[in-house]
Amino acid sequence: MYRLIIRFCNFIFGKHKSNTLPRYWILAVDMAIVVIAYVIAIFMLYFKDISASTFDWSRIWLVPVVYLIAFLLTKTYDGMLRYSGFNDIRKIFYACTGALSFLIISKLVVRQISPTLATNLYPRYVTIIYHYLITMVMMTLMRFIIRRLYNEVYKNTGDKLNTLVYGAGDGGTMLMRTLNQDTTSKFKIRAFVDDDPKRAKSQINTIKVYSPKEAMTPEFIEKFDIDVMIVAIPSLTEERRKEIIEQGMALNIVVKAIPSFDKWVDGKLSTNQIQDIKIEDLLGRKPIILGKSNVIREINGKVVLVTGAAGSIGSEICRQLMHYNPAKLIMLDQAESPMYDFQFEMNNTEDFKEIRDRMAFVITNVKDPIRMREVFEEYRPQVVFHAAAYKHVPFMEENAYEAVFVNVFGTKLVADLAIEYGVEKFVMISTDKAVNPTNVMGATKRIAEIYTQSRQGKTKFITTRFGNVLGSNGSVVPLFRKQIAQGGPITVTDRRITRYFMTIPEACSLVLEAGSIGDGGDIFVFYMGEKVRIWDLAEKMRKLAHRPDVEIIETGLRPGEKLYEEVLANEENTIKTDNEKIMHAVVRRYEAAEVDAMMDRLYEQLVTCDAMKIVAQMKAIVPEFKSNNSVFSTLDN
């Protein structure tokens, strides 16, 4: 019987392009239903004495004609049966009700003119009404039977991923409906699991709901041959979501999730929105969500310059800034190819279509005094976000000259031009590596902090410090993904190494918020959550990729690398701000004349291109700089 049903479905659906029945087939079936319903109505009314209904049989031609016209007007045959839903039922209701109304009203009118004609031409009122009800029911049932056959038999004959849905509430039922309607879906729901004990043992469309104690076991996974678990509770807390994901990972199944309700398109879920679990979901920290009023006040209607705009941090700052209605956004970077890609993205983002004329893309280096002066002269920025910097620790250990030239003197050039051209606020993006630096990169950022903090006046200088950003260029997450894709090994410098992490959007929103509340001379540090062990991060990414065969190996600390990052130096303290996620660091202040003398001495050593002399002078400026690099550690006092 099952094979016969499959053959029938293959004949019905598989014979036509896109598995869609021709519209005239649907119309023909609807008309057949109209005739059959008329016959059923007669038998229902006269089942005791069928001969009494003889006069009604001769009028059967009129009813189909009226219904045919109604179907043509409302286009009840125009939809695809496998997607039949409320709109199709509504069309059927309008068509049948219109036909019924026409038959009744026209019979009343004709009876006033000629009672005999009305008797000979029209069926009885009760026959018309019975026929109307039966027709509607049969047409609706036909569509849902076809839809069910398609979803349950024809569509499910291919290879499917046996799926366990975590969540039997609104999210889970909507997910089931979405999967049933999508002909391209590869998910076949085998069971539901839900935390609510009241839902356990119940069913959703014949599919049973289990408790976590029953379902989240190796035995259950093996019994139902589960391939995938989809977390379908959009309102879950971060802690519970993390627990469920890790439970699924421990069972060696693929874990996916649906987004929160506010991200559904027009209140509907699509299969394209079923997301892979990202490593961010397993960090065990709540995402930082900030208000917008402070940033709107600082950015709305102003000319804003972002250096390093093609980088991961700079580009996200630009994306967020465009939502705050700047008068002009100047995006500056020296990297041609990334800048080209970013320009293409910004010019083709739907949200920015109306404000493309406010964007300007500039290719130049922040250490080029001629071109940078030209940029300030042409655009006259009112707010500057300085994200341009070299940040790769091992590279900068080998290229101290370039690190100092860009990170220190590039920052100095942009800061000096900001003062000269009357910039209102200058926000510098720093790093936690500037705290008790152990490498050249961290020391250059600390010197840049010292310089900008000493330049206070009409232009307000603000520094923001934060740790590693997930997914940023050069971070461990893209590196681990690449290594996993290549079959490993995943390289971790030391099993003990830990880092603070936050997402790129979080980091950038905090930068904008800190820039708006800063009043000059401030160094703000951000709440970074708990430290993450890099070895644990690698193991979780390996599990997410379902690559237990990929090996994780230790390679040893690189020159200048720390085991543990710090957010504040030993002699620094913090003061709370109105935002609990942003703290104000109390650091030593330097006089401008003292800093100028330091910078002159550093430049004298820079032009020698002698890395040892350059680093020695950096250590004189930043006494807490204790190098982890054996080459430079001999310079420590």
d(CA 98, CA 75): 13
Residues 185 and 45 in one domain: no
**Which residues of the chain have a pLDDT value below 70?**
1-22, 47-59, 79-86, 118, 120-122, 147-158, 182-184, 261-268, 270, 283-291, 471-474, 528-529, 560-561, 565-573, 630, 636-637
Q: Give just the sign of the alpha carbon dihedral 131, 132, 133, 137.
A: positive
Identify the pLDDT of residue 387.
94
- The CA-atom distances, in angstroms, between 80 and each of 9, 21, 145 are 15, 7, 13
Which among 412, 433, 543, 619 is annotated as catalytic? 433
So what's the pLDDT on residue 128?
81
- Check residue 571 and give its pLDDT: 46
Same domain, 53 and 90: yes
Phi (first) and psi of residue 287, to 5 degrees: -65, 145
Both 142 and 263 in one domain: the answer is no
Whole-prediction pTM value?
A: 0.66
User: Which pLDDT score, from 0 to 100, does residue 15 have?
Assistant: 46
Q: Are residues 177 and 110 in the same domain?
A: no
Q: Are residues 120 and 167 in the same domain?
A: no
pLDDT at 327: 93
Per-residue pLDDT at 604 = 94
Residue 282 belongs to a domain: no
In this structure, are 334 and 213 located in the same domain? Answer: no
Final residue before a domain boundary, out of 211, 246, 277: 277
Same-domain pairing of 569 and 536: yes
**The one-letter amino acid at 596:** D
Instruction: Say if residue 51 is in the same domain as residue 189.
Output: no
**Is 581 an annotated catalytic residue?**
no
> Of the residues 100, 123, 154, which one is the last residue of a structural domain?
154
Does residue 288 belong to any structural domain of this protein? no
Quote the number of domains for the chain.
3
Distance CA 436, CA 440 (A): 11
Q: Is residue 637 part of a domain?
A: no
Whether residue 508 is found in the same domain as residue 573: yes
Compute, in degrees rounded to 10, the torsion defined by CA atoms 75, 78, 79, 85: 10
Residue type, 375: V
Q: Does 412 map to a domain?
A: yes
How many Å apart are CA 366 and CA 220, to the nearest integer?
60
Specify whether 212 is located in the same domain as 149: no
Considering the domain architecture, whether residues 112 and 210 belong to the same structural domain is answered as no
Residue numbers of the domain that contains 197 = 159-277
pLDDT in the model for residue 334: 94
Q: Within this chain, do residues 400 and 487 fall inside the same structural domain, yes or no?
A: yes
